[in-house]
Structure 1
C-alpha cells in the first residue's frame, strides 16, 4: 500500500511562499513513490475553535479535515511565521482536527497520534521561520506525532524562488529532498 502524506500550507495568501514550498514538497513526495494529498485550508470553513461550538455541533468541515488527515500516514506542513509563531489558520485547523469524534476518548487524536510529520517554513526575514518551526514541532509533539529531525527553513523567501516556483539555491533543494525522503520512510515504518 502506498504511503499517503497530507501536504498543508499554513497560509492561504495569494502568492504565498509557504504554499509554493508545500507544492514543491508534494512534487518531491510523488517523486519518492508516495501519494501527496493536498489539504487546502481555504476550502474548510472552520470557526475559531471553542469547546462550546464543538459541543453544540462540531462543524462538518472540522470532521472532513479530521477524516482527511486520519486517512493519511503522515503530514508535511509549511508554515509562515506570524509574530514568532505559526499562523492562526494552521493552529486552528490542528485544534479542530485533534478533537474526539464518534465516541473516541479525549486523547484518541486519530488524525495525528503515531504518525510522522515533516515541517518547513519560508519567510522574507533572515531566519526563515525558525521560531515558527520550533512552535510547530511542539504543537505536533503534543498531539502525539513523531516530528522527524530534518526541517527546512527558507530565509529571504521573496528571493528564494524562481519565476517557475522552484527553489533557486541547491542547499534548500537538497534539504527538501532529505526531509521528504525521511518523512516517507518514517511514515511507512510507523504505518507497518
Structure 2
C-alpha cells in the first residue's frame, strides 16, 4: 500500500542552474506537492554523472539517483531538446534505471511518468516529448495523458522562476497533478483487488 504522501521524483534541467527545463520541472513538482505528495528534485549538477556502464562502481551522486528511482512512486522528467531529442544528460540519468532490473519492481514498472520538453522553437519539442514517452514505455513506466511542451524562444519565466504564461503554467501543473492522481488510483485499485481476493464471504 502506498502511503498517504507518495514520493514524486523530478529529473531534469541542464548543467546550467535555473534553465527553462529546470524551472518548468519545479512548477510541476510544486503542483504535485499541492496534491499532498512529497517531492525530490535532482537537476543540473546533480545529474552530471559518469556515463552509465553496467557493473561499474557508482559515485555518491549515482547511488543517490538509483536510490531515488527505487523509492519513488512517480516521476516527472523535464528535458531540453538537443538536436531533435532528449539531452545526453537526461538520457544518461535514465540509463541508471538499469540498476533496478532485478528488483521486485523492475525498472519503472507501473510508475506514472510525467514528461516535459523544452526547446527554442516548435520543431524539436514534439520529437523530444515523443522520445521521453518512448523511453518511459521502454522502462515499463506509464506516461501521463498530458505531456507539456514549452517554446522557450519567448520569455516564459520571471527572475524568480515563476511562469508568466498562464497556459503553459496550467500544462505544467496538470502534469504534476496527473502523476499524483495516477499513483493514488493505482493504490486504490490494488487495495480493492486485495480485499476481493481475501473476501471469504459466501455469496449465493
Please indicate the TM-score interval, normalised by the length of the shorter structure. Answer: 0.7 to 0.9
* Mapped pair 1:182 → 2:175: no
Name stretches of at least 5 consecutive residues in structure 2 with no aligned partner. 191-204
Name stretches of at least 5 consecutive residues in structure 1 with no aligned partner. none
Cα drift, residue 91 of structure 1: 0.7
Alpha carbons 1:116, 1:145 under 8 Å: kept: yes
Select which of 37, 48, 52 maps to 1:49: 52
Partner residue in 2 for 1:92: 92
* Mapped pair 1:72 → 2:72: yes
Alpha carbons 2:13, 2:20 under 8 Å: kept: no
Deviations 1:141-178 (A, max 9, x none): 00000011101111135511123211112111222222
Number of residues of Structure 1 aligned to a counterpart in Structure 2: 185
Partners in 2 of 1:92 and 1:62 — Cα distance? 11
Select which of 155, 169, 174 maps to 1:159: 155
What SS does the corresponding residue of 1:129 show, helix, strand or coil? helix
Q: 1:116 to 1:29 in 2, by over 3 A?
A: same
Alpha carbons 2:47, 2:89 under 8 Å: kept: no
Partners in 2 of 1:109 and 1:90 — Cα distance? 22
Q: 1:10 to 1:190 in 2, by over 3 A?
A: farther
TM-score under structure 2 normalisation?
0.80
TM-score under structure 1 normalisation?
0.85
Q: 1:68 to 1:131 in 2, by over 3 A?
A: same
Partners in 2 of 1:110 and 1:17 — Cα distance? 31
Alpha carbons 2:35, 2:180 under 8 Å: kept: yes
Q: 1:155 to 1:128 in 2, by over 3 A?
A: farther
Partner residue in 2 for 1:113: 109
RMSD of Structure 2 on Structure 1 (CA): 2.3
Partner residue in 1 for 2:9: 6
Select which of 133, 153, 164 maps to 1:137: 133
What SS does the corresponding residue of 2:160 show, helix, strand or coil? coil
Q: 1:164 to 1:134 in 2, by over 3 A?
A: same
